[in-house]
Structure 1
C-alpha cells in the first residue's frame, strides 16, 4: 500500500516538530529556506551569548534523528496549486522544483525583525548573522530596546547581565510590558529588570522611520510619538512585534484580511480539508497561540485522522500567553502558566539535553 505524502512547508519550530511526529506514518517532505532549525526563540540569549544559544536553538537538519526518514528541500516556496496539489520551490541555484502532496502543512511562520526573516541562507550566512549582531551590541556603551513583548524584556535583561557596564533602557508604549501575559508575569519580570539595572520607560511609543523594515540594529536618536524628547543610544534594538506573515506564495483564498492562513479549530483550511496550518502563519486566535502551545501533537494526530477518515480534534487556545519569558538565565529556567503562576526549573543546562534534545525532538546528534 502506498504511503500518503505529506509536505511540510516551513521547518521552523512548529513545522519541524510536526514532521518529526509524522515521519513514521507517511512519506514526509520538509521545505525550508534554511539548512536547519534557526529558532525564533530566546532573542536575548541569542544576542548576548550566541554560542550558547546556537548549541540549543540552531541545528542543521541532519542532526535530528527522527528526520532521517524525511526528505528535506532547501529553497524558497514560490507558489501553490491547490487543484493540482503541488507546491513550487526555487532552489538556491535558481532552479525550480515541484513537490506534490496528499496533505499540505503550512508552517512558514512570520517575519519579525532581523532575527526572523524568510530569505534563503547557508550555514555560513546564518553563523555570520549571529556573530554580527552580537559584536554590534558588544561595541555599544548604551542600548535602547523598543517594545513590550517577551523578545524585548528578554533582550534587555540578557544584555544588561552580559555587559553590566552597558546602559540598557527598555521603552514600551503601555503602562506595563507583556500586555498579553497575566499581570503577575510583568510584576515578577519588572522586579528582575529593575534589580539588574535596566531602565524602564513606560508610555513611550517610537516613531518608526518611513520605509524602515526593522531588519537591522540601528543607532539613535529615537523619536517618540507620545511627546517625550528624542533618546540617543549607541544601538537601538527594535522588537515592536510587527509580524508579517510569510504567505506571499499562497493563493488569496486561503488567507484572512491580514494575510495569515485562515483555519478551522481542527487547524484545517476552510473548504480544503487536505491543507493544514500551524504556528505564527495560522490565524487560530488573536495571539496565534498554536506557535507556543505545542499544537504540533494535535496537528499530527489530526493529519493521521484525516487520512484514515476519523474524527479530528479541535485546538483550544489559552486565554493568555504562557511559557518562558526571559529564557535560560543564571543556570535556571522560569516558566509561567497562563494564570501567571511561576515555575522554576533549576540546573537547566544539565536538564536541557534530556528535556529538549530527547523528550521534545526525540534525539539530536552532537
Structure 2
C-alpha cells in the first residue's frame, strides 16, 4: 500500500523540522522559494557578521540527514485546490507545476522587513542580499534602529559591537523594549546595550511613509508620531514588527481577518481535514509561538494520528517569548528562560557542544559539513564569502 503523501508548504526553520519528523513515516514533499534553509533568526548577527551567520543559518537542504527521504521543490506557490488536494507552483525555471497531497502543512511564515521575504531566490540572490545590507551598515557613521522587539534589539547591539566607532541609536515606542519577554530579560539586555554605547530612546513611534513596506535600509529623516523632532542617520533599519503573513496563495476561507491561517488547538485548520498550519503564519496565539516552542514535533505526531484515525494533541502556547536575544557574542551566548533568567554558554561550548551536538544532531537529526558537492553557493559566491569584509 502506498504511504500517505504530506506536502510541507514552506521550508523555513519550522517547516524543515516538521518535515524531518515526518520523513520516516510518510512520503514528504517540501516546497521552498529559497534553494536552502535561509533562517529568519539572529538578524543582528546576519547584518554584522554575515559569514558567521551563514555558517549556522544558511544551510543546504541536502546537508540535513533527516531530509534525505524527502523531495524538495524550488518554487513559489500560487494557489491550492482544497477539494482536489493539489497545490499549484511556479518553479525556478518559470514553468508551472502541480503537487498533489494527502495532507497539507502550511508553514510559509511571514514577511518582515528586508530579511524575511517570500520571493523566489537563487543562492546568488540570497548572497547578494546578505552582502548588500552588511556593506551598507559597515560604511555608515551613524545607524538608527527602529523597533522594540528582539530583531531590533539584536541589530542595535551587534552593530555597536562590530563597529565601535559607529553611532548606534535604538528607538522603541514603549517604556521598555522586549515587551513580549519577561521584564527581567530587558533589564539584563538593557545593561548590555548601554555598555556597548547604544543610545536608548523609549517613547518614540516612527511615522511609516505611505506605501513604504519597511523592506530596505533607508537614509531619510525619521519623523515621529509621538511629537519628537525628526531624527537623521546615515542608515535606518526598520525592524518595527510590521509582519505580513505569506498567504496570498491561500483562499480566504482559511484566513482570519489579518490574513493568518486559522487553526484549532491541535494546529489543524477548521473544517478542512488533513490541512494544518504551524509557525508565524498560524494564528495560534498573540505571539504565534508555534514557530519557537518545538510545536513541530507535536504537529508531526498529529499528522500521523490524522492518518491513523487517532485523537490529536493540543498545542499549548507560552505567554512570553524566550531564548536568545542578541545571538552569539565574543564572550559566548546568553539564552533567557521564560522567567527572564539568563543562562550563559561560553564561546567554546557554543562552537563545540551547542551547535554540533544540541542543534545539529539533537534538534535537526544530523547536519553534514559543507562540501563542494553540497555547498549552497556557487564557486564565485563562495570565493566572495571567504574574502575579508569590512568590520568582520
TM-score, scaled relative to structure 2: 0.92
Unaligned 5+ residue runs, structure 1? none
Matched with 2:363 is: 360
- Distance in 2 between residues matched to 1:258 and 1:238, nearest whole Å: 21
Structure 1 residue aligned with 2:351, among 337, 349, 352?
349
Equivalent residues of 1:7, 1:103 under 8 A apart = yes
Matched with 2:217 is: 217
Equivalences for 1:149-188 in 2 at 5 Å?
Answer: 149-188=149-188
Offset, 1:361 = 1.0
Equivalences for 1:29-108 in 2 at 5 Å?
Answer: 29-108=29-108
Offset, 1:350 = 2.1
- Distance in 1 between residues matched to 2:332 and 2:351, nearest whole Å: 8
Say which is worse superposed, 184-193 or 344-353, in terms of deviation.
344-353
Offset, 1:273 = 2.3
Matched with 2:384 is: none
- Distance in 1 between residues matched to 2:273 and 2:331, nearest whole Å: 45
Q: Is 1:9 aligned to 2:12, yes or no? A: no
- Distance in 2 between residues matched to 1:68 and 1:195, nearest whole Å: 46
Q: Is 1:19 aligned to 2:19, yes or no? A: yes
4+ aligned runs moved over 3 Å, structure 1: none
Matched with 1:137 is: 137
- Distance in 1 between residues matched to 2:337 and 2:103, nearest whole Å: 33
- Distance in 1 between residues matched to 2:312 and 2:364, nearest whole Å: 24
Equivalences for 1:108-119 in 2 at 5 Å?
Answer: 108-119=108-119
- Distance in 1 between residues matched to 2:276 and 2:18, nearest whole Å: 11
Say which is worse superposed, 40-49 or 89-98, in terms of deviation.
89-98
Computed over aligned residues only, the root mean square deviation of the Cα atoms, in angstroms, reads 0.8
Q: Is 1:328 aligned to 2:335, yes or no? A: no
Cα displacement string for residues 204-244 of structure 1 (whole angstroms, at most 9, x for unaligned residues):
11111111111110013111111111111000000000010
Matched with 1:255 is: 255
Equivalent residues of 1:141, 1:234 under 8 A apart = yes
- Distance in 1 between residues matched to 2:338 and 2:318, nearest whole Å: 7
Does the residue aligned with 2:2 lie in a helix, a strand or coil? Answer: coil
- Number of equivalenced pairs: 366
Equivalences for 1:279-290 in 2 at 5 Å?
Answer: 279-290=279-290
TM-score, scaled relative to structure 1: 0.99
Matched with 2:203 is: 203
- Distance in 2 between residues matched to 1:330 and 1:301, nearest whole Å: 39
Matched with 1:315 is: 315
- Distance in 2 between residues matched to 1:166 and 1:339, nearest whole Å: 33
Offset, 1:311 = 1.3
Equivalent residues of 1:332, 1:349 under 8 A apart = no
- Distance in 2 between residues matched to 1:220 and 1:99, nearest whole Å: 45
Matched with 1:298 is: 298
Q: Is 1:264 aligned to 2:267, yes or no? A: no
Equivalent residues of 1:331, 1:349 under 8 A apart = no
Matched with 2:378 is: none
- Distance in 2 between residues matched to 1:300 and 1:76, nearest whole Å: 23
Cα displacement string for residues 65-112 of structure 1 (whole angstroms, at most 9, x for unaligned residues):
111111000000000101000100001222111111111000000000
Say which is worse superposed, 115-124 or 301-310, in terms of deviation.
301-310
- Distance in 1 between residues matched to 2:263 and 2:330, nearest whole Å: 40
- Distance in 1 between residues matched to 2:303 and 2:130, nearest whole Å: 35
Unaligned 5+ residue runs, structure 2? 370-392
